[in-house]
Amino acid sequence: MIKIGITGNIGSGKTTVSKVFALLGVPVFYADTAAKEVMVKDAELMEGLVKLFGKESYLEDGVLNRKYIASKVFNNPDELAKLNALVHPAVFRAFDNWAVAYADVPYTLKEAALMFESDSYKMCDYTIVVTAPLEMRLQRVVGRDHITREEALARDARQMNEEEKIRLADYRIWNDDSRLVIPQVLELHQQFLKLAAGK
Ligand SMILES: CC(C)(COP(=O)(O)OP(=O)(O)OC[C@H]1O[C@@H](n2cnc3c(N)ncnc32)[C@H](O)[C@@H]1O)[C@@H](O)C(=O)NCCC(=O)NCCS
Ligand SMILES: Nc1ncnc2c1ncn2[C@@H]1O[C@H](COP(=O)(O)OP(=O)(O)OP(=O)(O)O)[C@@H](O)[C@H]1O
Tens of pLDDT, residue by residue over 9-36, are 999 999 999 999 999 999 999 999 999 9
pLDDT digits (tens, 9 = 90+) for 56-76: 999 989 999 999 999 999 999
Q: Nearest ligand to the C-alpha of residue 71?
A: 1
Query: Would you say the CB of residue 32 lies under 6 angstroms from ligand 1?
Result: yes
The response to whether 13 counts as a known ligand-binding position is: yes
- Verify whether ligand 1 is closer than 6 Å to residue 109 (CB atom): no
Q: For residues 66 and 72, what is the distance between their CA atoms, to the nearest angstrom?
A: 10
Confidence at residue 37, expressed as pLDDT on a 0 to 100 scale: 97
Cα–ligand 2 centroid distance for 142 (angstroms) = 10
What is the chain's mean pLDDT, rounded?
A: 95
Instruction: Say if residues 4 and 127 touch (Cβ distance below 8 Å).
Output: yes
Q: Which fold has domain 2-197?
A: Rossmann fold (3.40.50)
**Domain residue spans of the chain:** 2-197
> Which residue has the CA at smallest separation from atom 10 of ligand 2?
13
> What is the band of 119 on the pLDDT scale with cuts at 50, 70, 90?
confident
Query: Beta strands of the chain (E only): which ranges?
Result: 2-7, 28-30, 107-111, 126-131, 171-174
Per-residue pLDDT tens over the stretch 146-157? 789 999 999 999
